[in-house]
Structure 1
């Protein structure tokens, strides 16, 4: 820790904020709001630390879901589903998003409103906007935050949230707030901190805007037949009837629904863990957060809150957790062996999973696209997390 460089404000911090202030005024923010709020914005070294910090190891699916979909959260979610049933039913009528999903997002984002974050949003966004790594994105988010303050939704000193600027019960970024937050309690302002009606209706409107289909669920756990060809996952979306023809059944071994809906196969922890057919609503959830783990957690928590049981197949708890540089090494090694995984970036995306499948198939392994310990050892990679 003593050798870590001290993070200080950039020399042009004040100049950067002045430029953003001019842009905000040009976009309609009142000069008084822009100048007063930005004059009080401070550079927060902690925000830069959190933005640049990469976790030592990426979490496994078992750990991710286990931490987020637990008995305490399920029980509390069921209580709140009943406590707020009239409000949630209203949101469902207007947006098509079922109550259990609304409560699930609420639970995953802020543990049902118990923690919104304590960072002053104007200062957090100012810090990120004047750091070169993602200056364009966060400059616009800071301008959006100024517009929210200017409209009277929240005083600047009360605008608190996450280190990245996400705010309120459902952790909207300022740009999402501007586009999708609503005044559902008709008190004259959009308040995602203190008004649960505003927060829940805003969440429903956001999901509706991304194409939520109220006729279908997020997806479902499924059972795959012995000898299943996992390379079909690279083929993307197929109608349920085609998955049925490939031997895929629901988690209990029954036939898939007779519905004209497309789905894609997701196996987040390889052939030894649960498999899912993800529907279009799964992509909508990923419009909120681009993580497949997150999308499954939202869907699974919603199912559990609505009364469903746990996964029929438990995810393996001994799966290796890889650091980002280890994923880069995996990608580089696959590329060197002729299995194109794309530019090594440390992110386990579709190109990397496809390359893993092709390598696994060439070695006679089950081609599930998962970086199992057997795969890593075959490539000469020893995860640090497993070193004694």
Structure 2
């Protein structure tokens, strides 16, 4: 294997668009023709030598997983180390941004308007998707908007080098090796090839950003061309695959994912969190009300979350919200998709917006908070500044132990108490 400094790019021939189907399965994407693939920056001989050695050790495991030698010869020869994916692995918006910063972008007026236009212009395809998979079109188009801004930002990273790099040196190497084997199985099946298999730094691909193992489990061919093509300019297969994913994750058509609620004075904040589920009638008996009027929806057991703390919107989330989290297990993402879908369907903004709180912690302070919680015996799932569900649970437990209002928000008040 070559160990010299190298960069990795593909010719224009390899970037040609895949043929799109016509008729009811054709859909206009808001994206333009495929742009050039991002080149991989050169690295030192030593770094590349380590990558090459890892590939040699990986090949027997790939063969044992059913990858043919012919496929490995086509895809894993001289795989370059990609330093950018290591850097970008520490910069995920769902964990770095405050909820209001995240939603300002995720549910912008432009994204709402574009989603409505795409639904209107492609009614026949969404009729077929709803009839086939039983998933509301607003949810499907919202995920499309969230994942790739309706096809405009599908990612230009070559997947095989990215996943190989992350499997070799990433923080979750076993997970990314599993994804790499999944990607090789996709190529081996003939749905695409390594030159056209592009996406994000972490291996998410196509219009709705499927990781390889999810693709293998859920991707479908609604166009009938014999390929589950989520990469082409025609996003029909990607959208149908997203609907198939949500349906198998428990989506119930016609039911809400989330509704904004008003909490009564004296509400027991110890009930906040997805682990507590109650029927809407039980919540109503406690004084919880639908902020926009009317009864709480009869959508099965719901939980109440406070993604921006007790001064922000209170949200009751249902089974369909949990189905969204199967797609991306970050509460901010779930709120973003559910709210975008509601807005695209004609709903309004939150009545009680999230406060633009100056007490939000920066990354170093979040890491300090996690270290202090860990030292006290609370499991935050790591001390890397990523404040996901495990950190929220640890914060809630700490707040309860100190007699504080329990909202699970890692804010300055919690950090001060820990200090």
TM-score (structure 1 length as normaliser): 0.87
1:301 aligns with one of 340, 345, 350: 340
1:224 aligns with 2:284: no
Report the alpha carbon displacement of residue 227 of structure 1 after superposing the two structures with TM. Answer: 2.4
Cα deviation code 1:200-241 (max 9, x no counterpart)? 111111111211122411121111112222111256111111
Greater Cα shift, 6-15 or 264-273: 6-15
Residue aligning to 2:79: 41
Kept after mapping to 2: 8 A contact 1:339/1:359: no
For residues 283 and 77 of structure 2, what CA distance do their matches in structure 1 show?
Answer: 58
Residue aligning to 1:188: 226
Residue aligning to 1:143: 181
Residue aligning to 1:263: 302
2:152 aligns with one of 82, 99, 114: 114
Report the alpha carbon displacement of residue 244 of structure 1 after superposing the two structures with TM. Answer: 0.6
Seen in structure 2, the aligned counterparts of structure 1 residues 103 and 132 have a Cα distance that, compared at 3 Å, is: closer
Residue aligning to 1:386: none
Cα deviation code 1:167-216 (max 9, x no counterpart)? 10111111111111111111111110113221111111111121112241
1:128 aligns with 2:166: yes
1:91 aligns with one of 129, 133, 138: 129
Report the alpha carbon displacement of residue 252 of structure 1 after superposing the two structures with TM. Answer: 2.3
Cα deviation code 1:132-157 (max 9, x no counterpart)? 63222212211211111122211211
For residues 360 and 130 of structure 1, what CA distance do their matches in structure 2 show?
Answer: 39
Seen in structure 2, the aligned counterparts of structure 1 residues 135 and 379 have a Cα distance that, compared at 3 Å, is: closer
Residue aligning to 2:317: 278
SS in 1 for 2:259: strand
Kept after mapping to 2: 8 A contact 1:9/1:45: no
2:291 aligns with one of 251, 267, 273: 251
SS in 2 for 1:221: strand
For residues 382 and 64 of structure 2, what CA distance do their matches in structure 1 show?
Answer: 40
Seen in structure 2, the aligned counterparts of structure 1 residues 23 and 201 have a Cα distance that, compared at 3 Å, is: same
1:241 aligns with 2:275: no
1:25 aligns with 2:63: yes
For residues 163 and 260 of structure 1, what CA distance do their matches in structure 2 show?
Answer: 37
Matches within 5 A, 1:341-352: 345=383, 346-349=385-388, 352=391
Residue aligning to 1:370: 409
For residues 328 and 418 of structure 2, what CA distance do their matches in structure 1 show?
Answer: 32
Residue aligning to 2:53: 15
Seen in structure 2, the aligned counterparts of structure 1 residues 73 and 52 have a Cα distance that, compared at 3 Å, is: closer
In the alignment, structure 2 segments of 5+ residues that lack a partner are: 1-42
1:314 aligns with 2:353: yes
Residue aligning to 1:289: 328
Residue aligning to 1:384: none
Report the alpha carbon displacement of residue 101 of structure 1 after superposing the two structures with TM. Answer: 0.5
1:73 aligns with 2:86: no
Number of residue pairs matched by the alignment: 372
